[in-house]
Structure 1
């Protein structure tokens, strides 16, 4: 809970920096607070917080996913100076809302109770409804905010109804008492219906098809830095909560929901990859790419073993790093060109080779090409699932092969253009180059030496 308090106080400080017209310092306040929180996440939890263990337990798994989320958020804050250059009047609010949303993520990593789960989901989501509409003069951003809010409220209704049914049948909100009830009452219809309704709500939060319909429009309409935050930190938080509630709370009725997830995986991988191929806008294509990755990650539910949590963390970290790598390139192109079509990237490899190489390696990692972190992440999850669900793994492999086609469109535009469209003398900032080098080194290093991931995060 110490980390949660530090991130919360950092958000308050960043917010009040804007009140005192020091908004430009909010980013530095956020970076400092996140660095402190990252350090504290390695320390033993204070004895005082043990009285809250029935609601909130910052255990080893929660600490691991919190560290990953903090690292990704830190990278986004480093990119914020350029990305939010047209939001100078309300930068502090944007940074503060990102930190408040991260607080919701930390709650989701540590929840022990369905009430805490609900609070975590809402704390995570409500700031995002505002952040999605941060480009106040852009109709797409306004649409993204309204659509996300309305669909999010609808999904919250499913979540609350599911919680009510689970509580009505088990008589408890406690995760482990629900676990015990599920094992003893495998045929309880009310309990099963509650679990399925919660599954649907969390499938929405992770943008799993067919509950993904909001994500392409929201990801495309939101400011690009906020889109990265939703694609990475929010997805990490939501998916771990999804994984935790299904594999602990509803273990006793696994047979009732596992086939539903299998069907959702097939729909997700087919729909997202086909729609990704059909896009002419790079940002929208990456939105569908993000949806497809939920299908790969969801294979973690099949063939559960002692390494499942580690494999999930590794994949989410590799995916999030790659997302930051390609989207930071898109941010720079979008600022210069005012568009994100494939043609906008033409010739970038000759003008800004560091940025282009980072985007290319990130896309190859997303596709699961060997020697990248993405390959190791997919290999671990596929290897875990292949014995219990060989057909789903085959579908996932075919989906990965299909995704290479639309990832290559950006790479081809950057390095092999018919005609370069970059005529500007403006150069990428030093901060962007440093972040780019970090991402390239990290993706290749943990791709070749995956044990580095465990060592760096204290496992």
Structure 2
């Protein structure tokens, strides 16, 4: 709760910098506030907040995912100086909205109650609807905002209807009391219907097919830094909220949702990877890549064991690092070329080799190539799922093999053209170069020494 309060106050202060025409300060205020919040997340929670434990509890798992999200948000803020250079008039609002959305993520990491789940999702989502439309003169951005809002509202309706049915039959919103009821009455039809509606709603939020239809258009139309935030922090919070719901409240009716989740994973892996091959725009390809990773993450629900939470956290962090790495490259190309087609990346390695390297290593990590963090994360997830659904693991391996093809298209464009198409005197900023080196080292280090993750975050 202390971390939540710090992030909220930081967001309020960042928002008010715009009132005094000091929007650039919002980024530095955000970074400072996030560093303080990260430090506090390692401290024991104040006893004063124990009275709220029936709604929100800052336990070890909540602390783990909170630390990850803060670190990822910090990296995104470091990118913001360059990425938001075209949004000088409302930088403070964009940084503040990201922080408000992060508050929703923190609520989702520790919710103990279905009402808190709903509140957390809304706090997370509403700022995103606004940020998606930040490019006011871009029709794609306007479409992204409207589409995200309408489909998000539709998913919220599913969520509320499901919560209503569960409360109507169990008489409680508390996760553990719902768990006790489900264990005692596993065949309750109203409970099952409520659970299915909630699964559908959260499948919308994490972009599991066929509930993913909003994500390619929203990811492509949103400002690229906001897309990075959606693909990383929002996915972290959405998946852990999903995981808590099914493994706490509905673990007693595991047999009822086992097949549902299996079908969603299969559809997601085939559809997303196939559509990724068909794309000619790098940003849209990465959007379908993000959907495919939702499919891989869906394997966390099979073969659940004591390491499942850790495996989920490691995968989400490894994926978020890779997302930031490749989106750094895309943001640079987008600013210079005003487009994100594969052709726009031709010869990037000749003019900006470091950006090309961080983009390539990030995509190799996404594909699960050995000696990268993505490989170790996938290995842990697949090894767990082998004990619960070996068939799904085979499909996931096939999906990973397909994904290599569309990642290689972008790598080839960057490295295998003799002439560079980047005729510009503008060079990459020092902050960008430092961040690129950090991402490369982190991805490789976690791929070779995965225990470093536990040393830094699981303490």
Bin for the TM-score computed over the shorter chain: over 0.9
Q: Offset of 1:298 from its aligned partner?
A: 0.6
* Maintained 8 Å contact 2:351/2:420: no
RMSD: 0.6
- Is 2:349 the counterpart of 1:349? yes
Q: Offset of 1:419 from its aligned partner?
A: 4.1
TM-score by length of 2: 0.99
Counterpart CA distance in 1 for 2:389 and 2:306 is: 18
Partner of 1:321: 321
* Maintained 8 Å contact 1:42/1:458: no
Counterpart CA distance in 2 for 1:229 and 1:458 is: 23
Q: Offset of 1:16 from its aligned partner?
A: 0.4
Partner of 1:226: 226
Partner of 1:448: 448
Partner of 2:95: 95
Q: Offset of 1:418 from its aligned partner?
A: 5.7
User: What's the CA shift string for 1:67-105, capped at 9, x where partnerless?
Assistant: 000001001101101100011000000000000000000
Counterpart CA distance in 2 for 1:418 and 1:433 is: 23
- Is 2:428 the counterpart of 1:433? no
SS in 2 for 1:19: coil
Counterpart CA distance in 2 for 1:338 and 1:30 is: 28
Counterpart CA distance in 2 for 1:299 and 1:227 is: 24
* Maintained 8 Å contact 1:166/1:195: yes
Counterpart CA distance in 2 for 1:272 and 1:278 is: 10
Partner of 1:236: 236
Counterpart CA distance in 2 for 1:437 and 1:262 is: 38
**For residues 288-437 of structure 1, what are the structure 2 equivalents within 5 Å?**
288-417=288-417, 419-437=419-437
Counterpart CA distance in 1 for 2:296 and 2:268 is: 9
- Is 2:4 the counterpart of 1:7? no
Partner of 2:16: 16
Counterpart CA distance in 2 for 1:418 and 1:204 is: 43
SS in 1 for 2:24: helix
Q: Offset of 1:390 from its aligned partner?
A: 1.1
Counterpart CA distance in 2 for 1:200 and 1:91 is: 34
* Maintained 8 Å contact 1:17/1:26: yes
Counterpart CA distance in 1 for 2:388 and 2:104 is: 33
Partner of 2:109: 109
* Maintained 8 Å contact 2:265/2:298: yes
Partner of 1:47: 47
Counterpart CA distance in 2 for 1:124 and 1:90 is: 20
* Maintained 8 Å contact 1:280/1:341: yes
Counterpart CA distance in 1 for 2:194 and 2:323 is: 34
User: What's the CA shift string for 1:121-170, capped at 9, x where partnerless?
Assistant: 00000000000000000000000000000000000000000000010011
Partner of 1:137: 137
Structure 1 ranges of 4+ moved more than 4 A: none
- Is 2:243 the counterpart of 1:258? no
Partner of 1:276: 276
* Maintained 8 Å contact 1:347/1:414: yes
* Maintained 8 Å contact 1:368/1:375: yes
Counterpart CA distance in 2 for 1:458 and 1:37 is: 16
Counterpart CA distance in 2 for 1:24 and 1:327 is: 22
* Maintained 8 Å contact 1:326/1:360: yes
User: What's the CA shift string for 1:164-216, capped at 9, x where partnerless?
Assistant: 00100110000100010010000000001101100000000000000000000
Aligned residues: 459
* Maintained 8 Å contact 2:350/2:419: no
User: What's the CA shift string for 1:294-331, capped at 9, x where partnerless?
Assistant: 00011010000000000000000000000000001000
- Is 2:212 the counterpart of 1:247? no
User: What's the CA shift string for 1:193-251, capped at 9, x where partnerless?
Assistant: 10110000000000000000000000000000000000000000000000000110001
Counterpart CA distance in 1 for 2:218 and 2:403 is: 21
Q: Offset of 1:387 from its aligned partner?
A: 2.5
TM-score by length of 1: 0.99
* Maintained 8 Å contact 1:179/1:248: yes
Counterpart CA distance in 1 for 2:21 and 2:416 is: 46
Q: Offset of 1:21 from its aligned partner?
A: 1.1
Q: Offset of 1:423 from its aligned partner?
A: 1.1
Partner of 1:184: 184
SS in 2 for 1:443: helix
